[in-house]
Amino acid sequence: MAEACEVWFYHLERTGLDQALPELLEKTLARGWKAIVRARQPERVEHLDGWLWSYKDESFLPHAPAGEPSAARQPILLTTAFENPNGADALFLIDGAEPGELDGYTRCVVLFDGADPAQVAVARGQWTAVKGKGFPVSYWKQQERGWKKTA
């Protein structure tokens, strides 16, 4: 039997999503994993598509939006849909995107802006829901340097 997907909640306090997400995606790829980044709005997918090519001068993160012909071969797929066409190990949820079914994922990472009461409320609801379904959950709070697991 496959192990249950771990669900990690990342509480952004010191940087925005544009700074935190690429770092976490780099760590995901370094593990040899593929990732899906699920947003709620197509405009966010479009923004991230440009940002992940240029966020750092010396590197980029190989990715594509879900509508591209080569989407299933991409290490990082940007989408608003619930499918997992690239066989991703990690699912990143941003802007309050819903997790859907977590079967097949090793880890689900919920990133939320601690300064946005709506995002905090959605994250709390997601925490309660996934914990209630028996998924192992942990809470990571952004520190001055890095992250600290607090629950």
Pair 64, 54: CB distance under 8 Å: no
Is pLDDT of 151 > 50?
A: yes
Number of domains in the chain: 1
Whether residue 149 is contained in a domain is answered as no
Q: 94: domain range?
A: 6-141
Pair 128, 109: CB distance under 8 Å: no
Provide the CATH number for the domain around residue 125.
Answer: 3.40.50.10110
Pair 92, 105: CB distance under 8 Å: no
Pair 150, 11: CB distance under 8 Å: no
Whether residue 151 is contained in a domain is answered as no
Whether residue 76 is contained in a domain is answered as yes
Whether residue 1 is contained in a domain is answered as no
Whether residue 85 is contained in a domain is answered as yes
- pLDDT, tens digit (0-9, with 9 covering 90-100), for 62-113: 999 998 888 889 999 999 999 999 999 999 999 999 999 999 999 999 999 9
Whether residue 70 is contained in a domain is answered as yes
Is pLDDT of 2 > 60?
A: no
pTM: 0.94
